[in-house]
């Protein structure tokens, strides 16, 4: 009988019972079956990580095999859905990390407008990349929108002098607010 044919609650019971013996043959057989299943799911769901799929599945499998995680399953009959949700979140983390690597803000003087232009670029390989860039763009715009100086200077395209007049700030205060905004944006994209 294949691992995928076993009842889910039996799979959970075996994994819990053999948690202290990582070399137990039945445990290894189950985890290998789970790994193959998750690889199949991952190839269909997160194709944008072609080069990293094996790593994502392995990270998800490491979480799935932990005793504390297995013990936290409310309904062992839902094992496969639970395992796929762990794969999903592990894959999402990997996609987010890959996007941050692509979009690093490299210097303190980099123009925020250049970052926005990169996020709007249409030359990305996959629809997933374009969708992810749009989500990151929404985060950048939301962060800029929290700052009155940033909103006026970068979203409404006012000059620094116009921002000073409208908000009653000195030129140094506007420059300092823009510097802090750039620093927050860098922290968003660099871990």
Q: What is the CATH number of the domain that holds 167?
A: 1.10.10
Look at residue 52 in the predicted model and tell me its pLDDT: 77
Residues 96 and 8 reside in one and the same domain: yes
Say what the pLDDT of residue 167 is: 92
Whether residues 25 and 64 share a domain: the answer is yes
Res 45: pLDDT = 66
In whole angstroms, give the CA distance from residue 14 to residue 37: 18
Which of 101, 127, 148 represents a domain boundary (last residue)? 101
Q: What is the pLDDT of residue 109?
A: 38
Three-state SS string over the chain comes to: CCHHHCCHHHHHHHHHHCCCCCCCHHHHHHHHHHHHHHHHHHHHHCHHHHHHHHHHHHHHHHHHCCHHHHHCCCCHHHHHHHHHHHHHHHHHHHHHHHHHHHCCCCCCCCCHHHHHHHHHCCCCCCHHHHHHHHHHHHHHHHHHHCCHHHHHHHHCCCCHHHHHHHHCCCHHHHHHHHHHHHHHHHHHHCC
Q: Are residues 74 and 116 both part of a single domain?
A: no
pLDDT confidence of residue 170: 92
| Domain span holding position 38 | 3-101
pLDDT band at 164 (very low <50, low <70, confident <90, very high): very high
Say yes or no: 39 and 94 in one domain.
yes
Predicted confidence at residue 119, as pLDDT, reads 67
Do residue 81 and residue 67 come from a single domain?
A: yes
Neighbour tally for 191: CB within 10 Å:
8
Are 48 and 25 found together in one domain?
Answer: yes
**Rounded to two decimals, what is the model's pTM?**
0.52
Q: What is the mean pLDDT of residues 81-105?
A: 75
153, 144 contact by CB (below 8 A): no
The crossing angle, in degrees rounded to 10, of helices 25-45 and 8-17 is: 130
pLDDT confidence band for 20 (50 / 70 / 90): confident
Tell how far CA 146 is from the center of its chain: 23
- Residue with the bigger pLDDT between 36 and 120: it is 36
* pLDDT reported for residue 43: 76
Whether 75 has a pLDDT exceeding 80, the answer reads yes
Q: Is the pLDDT of residue 136 over 80?
A: no
Whether residues 23 and 112 fall in one domain: no
> Do 112 and 179 sit in the same domain of this protein?
yes
Out of 101, 132, 161, a domain closes at 101
Cβ atoms of residues 26 and 18 within 8 Å: yes
Question: What pLDDT does residue 123 have?
Answer: 67
In a shared domain, residues 112 and 42? no
When mean pLDDT is compared across 3-12, 25-34, 76-85, the lowest value belongs to 3-12
Query: Distance (Å, rounded) from C-alpha 163 to C-alpha 37?
Result: 56
Residue 105, pLDDT score: 47
**Boundary of a domain, candidates 58, 75, 101:** 101
């Amino acid at each position: 009988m294949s691992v995928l044919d076993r009842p889910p609650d039996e799979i959970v019971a075996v994994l819990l019972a053999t948690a202290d013996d990582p070399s137990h043959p039945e445990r290894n057989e189950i985890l290998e079956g789970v790994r193959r299943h998750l690889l199949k799911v991952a190839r269909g769901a997160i194709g944008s990580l072609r080069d990293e799929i094996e790593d994502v599945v392995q990270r998800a499998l490491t979480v799935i095999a932990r005793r504390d995680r297995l013990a936290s399953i409310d309904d062992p009959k839902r094992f496969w859905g639970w395992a796929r949700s762990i794969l999903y979140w592990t894959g999402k983390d990997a996609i987010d990390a890959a996007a941050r690597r692509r979009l690093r803000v490299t210097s303190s003087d980099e123009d925020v407008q250049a970052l926005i232009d990169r996020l709007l670029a249409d030359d990305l390989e996959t629809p997933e990349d374009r969708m992810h860039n749009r989500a990151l763009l929404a985060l950048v715009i939301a962060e800029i929108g929290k700052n009155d100086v940033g909103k006026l200077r970068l979203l409404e395209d006012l000059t620094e002098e116009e921002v000073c007049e409208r908000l009653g700030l000195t030129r140094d205060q506007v420059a300092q607010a823009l510097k802090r905004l750039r620093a927050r944006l860098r922290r968003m994209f660099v871990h």
